[in-house]
Structure 1
């Protein structure tokens, strides 16, 4: 037998072992109906997956950063199925009809509570021309330049509730909530100074 043929035959099983894993299921860790992300090693499924996909997915909420678990809500003291994402927290409220059966966390309020900072102590701001004013909190959402900034972003982004083109006030409010402060300069986690 030819030496080259023998060498090929000897290498063939090794090649098969190397290639075989690429033909397996795309994500062996995903249960039925789940979508898993190798970037974080986390999965989303059920109503959370549906809500995530219907309302902007990765661009709006980011990757899941933990599994869906039972967690106590700070405001009510009740326990809900909860899953954390890079940019929000989902809570499943089966007592509500869709789309309000998944409620988003109040991250700004949570962050301030963790630091023992009460936004109410900062006082109310006067209503500014050209801004969206929220009487409930006494704060404005304004653009930082003509047509560029928080107001423009707020008015063009939101959750999809009514199936109509464009973003309604209610859909923006559902995604972002109420402003708790006026814009300010802060240092982000990368050390950059940014307007928040």
Structure 2
């Protein structure tokens, strides 16, 4: 079979995969507030699980101002460290491949998947720290043969749909799994506009689907889904920027990808009906929640998660009473009191930001899934008005 035929078959398979991915909806369901934890289970945990505040002046461990990545041999500090921490860390950026340097009068730092840039003239806006146009720069530095790839040629405008969108500024489109990833992971702010259509790319000995953006390149393969290409070292090399490792300062914390640097905890505000997920003293994500209704108030204080159930069955109250419930498929349940108060998905809720539960902290599906992956046994749950 010719290489062209193989690429055609692969692209067809890729297209079908993207169509499948865009049509899949989450089929899990989950649910509510008090638990079916048995009396025996409650007795087992009462000896070490607080049901009243045990730290009225709870404060997290301060975040380090500077860390050293032993895997890549470079430092990350202050504003760039904060930006890295709050916007996806290794998944979004990888580790730094240079220290902070000055380019064209601006402080920048190269990472495996991006280049951070500090713009003091934009202080106080979301663009104060932003990402460089690596995709555009690498396209400009590419050979005439590479730029002749049909995927880089402008396409004719078409009406937008739920499955594909046209971008007039670059005259390219975005759809399928790449569109879902673009929307979910930062969109225009992080990636910029597409500057190509999808195209096959050989990475090592594996053919993948690729699409270039002003600030990034997306890669897709069924074995790993969608991920970001490591454009940082390529862009650094194109500008003759050294990626030689720095020496380790013994006074600076050294980390790897597997190092847990910051404490993960959640702050629940019963006045605003917000839950803010924290890494040390840095907010990572804030969501709307539902708290306990009158007579079933969510307890105030600082607690710790002691039990996690991925799919819970919750039942409480007397049959026929107003407070009776019998709920299956309560996903991502994380208990923080022995009375059954928990953080969890509430599949029967269509809106959030008010009192309605039996004391639990109700969340939407995506938010409860995030909480499940962000928190763990022992994570603090700080609840207050």
Q: TM-score category by the smaller chain?
A: 0.3 to 0.5
- If the length of structure 1 is used for normalisation, what is the TM-score? 0.46
Using CA pairs below 8 Å that are at least 6 residues apart, which structure has the higher relative contact order?
2
Question: 1 or 2, which has the higher strand percentage?
Answer: 2
- If the length of structure 2 is used for normalisation, what is the TM-score? 0.25
